[in-house]
Amino acid sequence: MDLLANLDLGLAVAVSPQNLMWCLVGCLLGTLIGVLPGVGPVATIAMLLPVTFHLTPVSALIMLAGIYYGAQYGGSTTAILMRMPGESSSVVTCLDGHAMARKGRAGAALTIAALGSFFAGTVATVLIAVASPLLAALAHQFAAADYFALMLLGLVGAVVLAHGSVPKAIAMVLLGLLLGFVGGDVNSGVQRFTFGIPELQDGIGFVPVAMGLFGLAEIILNLEKGVDVYGAIARIGSLWPTREEARRAVPAVLRGTALGSVLGMLPGGGAILSSFTAYVLEKRLSREPQRFGDGAVEGVAAPEAANNAGAQTSFVPLLTLGIPENPVMALMVGAMMIHGIQPGPEVMTKQPQLFWGLIASMWVGNLMLLVINLPLVGVWVRLLGIPYRLLFPVILLFCAIGAYSVANSGFDVLLTAVFGLLGYALAKLRCEPAPLLLAFVIGPLMEENLRRALLLSRGDPSVFVTRPISLVLLALTAVLLLSVALPGVRRLRETAFAE
Amino acid sequence: MTPTKALGAAVLSALLALSAPAAADTYPSKPIRYVVPFPPGATSDNVSRILAQRLSEITGQPVVVENKPGAGTALGAELVAKAEPDGYTLLNVTNATLAAIPHLVKLSYDPETAFVPLALSGDSYSYIAVNPEVPGKDLKEFIAYAQKNPGKLNFGTAGNGSLGHIYGELLKLRTGIDLVHVPYKGSAAALNDAVTGQVQVVLDPAALPLAKAGKLRALATLNAQRSPALPDLPTIHEAGVPNWNARLWFGVAAPAKTPPEVVAFLNATFNKILAEPETVEKLRALNLEPRRLSVDEIRAVVREDFATFGEIIKAANIKSE
């Protein structure tokens, strides 16, 4: 069979000693930078690009890919231990992952994240190997109208994300939308909320907002409380999940993998949605949604599986069309072109070693990450034992480096500080930053696709209901909206009767 | 020039002449900062890394590529425009930064006097390509089809004021067809939607691999010469569109007041690099054709492009504040 022969070829390339070594180097580096808050894969790959000039193209791509998914693994570590999301996809992991850490289940949370990610990575890799062209065709069914409907669903889901009061969650969503509007409008080029500051012309970056609202705010709150040892919040506890935790995690990982595999390959923001959507789905399906935000295992397992599956399937547009769907993929294109490989649909047939070698190395890399990460869980957890007065300046320093490294911009460091203060204020007001952040990410995509859909239909709004994908997504949105609103309606009625 | 000003200028140039030999003898004596106003992975970034590596090997000094994206290259360009003019801060440019953006954005520096060009590292080949379902086997038939269906076809671009936008508006001006502009954030998304048929037309260098694989149909090369990558594809002139004068090229510039000796040294060094077969091969892999021009020749090219882009942007009323 063709597929087996191809995989055989790929594995032969991937497990050659040289490529194994570069895969290991990439995975190690990726894990390391993923663990450093805010220092993301884009900055790291950009720094290491010159090194890859001296490698063969296959080795270069294998190493860069290793950095990419290594960072996805590592990013969850800081999210769980310090409530510090380094990557958009680890924001939701903060919610229940850090809550678990506070209860002394940090080891279990990290282990579940690593095992869930490995499982999802394996499934997604097989999926890419078997069905890349099919997956690409599926992703191509999505038009601007469908994206809009998907984003709308995500936005309503943002309200569900919230742990407490619904009006406050809606207020946070609105604030997030406003922040997302900052910058030049894609359609008209008009500047919005930029106050003549050139650094704001391209909008506010994700890293300053996420790191400020979650990480810095957390530091301020801890200092206020006079925390002296982070780990003192709780015992370190067993590193392995309990039977009960495992029972809850398994179906969540399965659902997360499926969701992440599909959403990850949608070009333009699909990957961001996958972990959020997985979390919302788990909370909706759960019989005890009140456990979410308070250390629910499903709230760690599902998004972690989803983001890793998404990280793998986001290679689909690159491998099938040569079109990069996120900045990391754009760097991979750059690396290919420097080696004289024109990325595009022809890579699969003209450079089979490269194509199948890269796919096989994805699985090898995931296995390596599991082997690297499981023993490290104990090391990371012990980090919590470091006195906080020593730990927090280091975290702060890495945050500043991370914020700066995204675009070599001092302005972004300043913005991170401002969002840190905002995050502190929100915590005092008992408003949750997660819906704000999701709306901040989704809002601009939603607007862009709404206006593009209307531009393409020449102003006819019926496109949203005549396209089947869009119609289904809008119907789901309506159902979700009702399910959020109904308990509120019932409560309102109950209070009315009581009077 | 008034007598006092002339005197001042004379004194200034005498002073410069006094200090110059020292600068020229020792340059470069410390690391050089090479600013790229695009994110990592962009063509500009790739070109810069190739040139920076060779410049570093030749001069023995580290050449550090620094990505400073934002505000349509204005952030990075401003950084270099206001940097110490000592030859230790260089800017990777495209003619869009030097000749198109000044017509679109209010800048904090004077684009016409802020920079001195050092090299023209490559002319870029761009293509007009359509979704394979669109009727018309060549550009002429496509234009005829578009004329019969005014306002029905869309062209996708990397954004307002992007080169694809300017190319599209120029095509409309020169042929009288009516296409609707659909801006995206970056050309990758626009190309993706051209493959799926959401938009029908793209005008972009990155259409090449998709055209080669049959996912898009290339109609013409938007250059004066045929592209070596698609030698059978006619140029836009050959396809019958008159007066096509927009183009894209990559280059290197420094702050305008950089000492002339340093400018001469860098111009000569870059032209030496651009003559190396290995560098030429790498640049051709990026779809670029390197050229070796003197500083004055590049200045003339910039002036020509400045006028051309100004005319198109004004005629088509392209806005990007």
> Are B53 and A50 within 8 A, CB to CB?
yes
Query: What single string gives the DSSP state of each residue in A49-110?
Result: HHHHTTS-HHHHHHHHHHHHHHHHHHHHHHHHHHS--SSGGGHHHHHHHHHHHHTT-HHHHH
Closest CA to A275 of A8, A101, A95: A95
Is A451 in the B-facing interface, judged by CB distances under 8 Å? no
B263 assigned to some structural domain: yes
Q: Is A493 on the interface with B (CB under 8 A)?
A: no
Taking the CA atoms of chain A, what radius of gyration do you get in angstroms? 22
Q: What is the pLDDT of residues B171-219, one digit of tens each?
A: 999 999 999 999 998 888 899 899 999 999 999 998 998 999 899 999 9
**Residue B290 maps to a domain:** yes
- The reply to whether B140 and B117 lie within a common domain is no
Task: From chain B, pick out residues whose CB is under 8 angstroms from the CB of A334.
Answer: 40-42, 45-46
More confident residue, B210 or A495: B210
Predicted confidence at residue B110, as pLDDT, reads 87
- Substitution target in B63, B160, B278 with the highest count of A β-carbons within 10 Å is B160
Same domain, B206 and B265: no
Q: Region A263-269: what's the mean pLDDT?
A: 73
Nearest to residue B42, comparing CAs of A268, A331, A341? A331
Q: Which domain does A367 fall in, by range?
A: 2-498
Say if A233 is an interface residue toward chain B (CB within 8 Å): no
From B221, B236, B264, the end of a domain falls on B221
Is B277 a domain residue? yes
Task: For residues B30-51, give the mean pLDDT.
Answer: 91
**Residue in B39, B50, B70 closest to A327 by CB:** B39
What's the rounded Cα separation, in Å, for the pair B221 and B204? 10
Closest alpha carbon to A315 in A278, A350, A358: A358
pLDDT tier for residue A270 given thresholds of 50, 70 and 90: low
Domain range spanning residue B310? 28-123+247-315
* B108 and B42 housed in the same domain: yes
Please indicate, yes or no, if residue B94 is contained in any of the structural domains. yes
A455 touching chain B per CB within 8 A: yes
Whole-number percent of chain B with pLDDT over 70: 92
Chain A partners within 8 Å of B67 (Cβ): 46, 407-408
Do B136 and B117 have their domain in common?
Answer: no
DSSP lists the bridge partners of residue B124 as B248, B288
Q: Which residues does A496 contact at the CB level (< 8 Å), separation at least 6?
A: none
**Same domain for B212 and B66:** no
CB nearest to B192's CB, from A321, A344, A407: A321
Look at residue B57 and tell me if it is in a domain.
yes
- Strands of B32-36's sheet in order across: B63-67, B32-36, B89-94, B248-255, B115-124, B288-289
Say how far apart CA A116 and CA A121 lie, in whole Å: 8
Domain harbouring B215, CATH code: 3.40.190.10
- The answer to whether B189 contacts A268, with C-beta atoms less than 8 Å apart, is yes
User: How many domains does chain A divide into?
Assistant: 1
Q: What is the pLDDT of residues A273-326, one digit of tens each?
A: 788 889 888 988 888 888 888 889 999 999 999 988 988 888 888 888 788 877
Count up the domains in chain B and report the number: 2
Contacts of A324 in chain B (CB under 8 A): 41, 188
Closest-CA residue to B157 (of B205, B112, B124)? B205
Q: What is the full DSSP assignment across A111-162?
A: HHHHHHHHHHHHHHHHHHHHHHHHHHHHHTT--HHHHHHHHHHHHHHHHHH-
- Quote helix, strand, coil % in chain B, to nearest 5: 45, 20, 35
- Is residue A348 pLDDT above 80, yes or no? no
Let me know: does A68 contact A30? Beta carbons within 8 Å. yes
Nearest to B191 among A184, A201, A323 (CB): A323
B-chain residue closest to A269, CA distance: B189
Contact B23, B262 (CB under 8 A): yes
Q: What is the ipTM for the molecules in this complex?
A: 0.82
- Residue B20 domain flag: no
Query: What's the CATH code of the domain at B101?
Result: 3.40.190.150
Over its C-alpha atoms, chain B yields an Rg (Å, rounded) of 21
- Between chains, do A321 and B53 touch, taking CB under 8 Å as contact? no
Does one domain contain both B155 and B117? no
| A209-244 residue pLDDT tens | 988 998 889 889 888 888 776 654 445 567 788 888
Closest CA to A449 of A137, A156, A151, A158: A151
Asked if B153 and B105 sit in the same domain, the reply is no
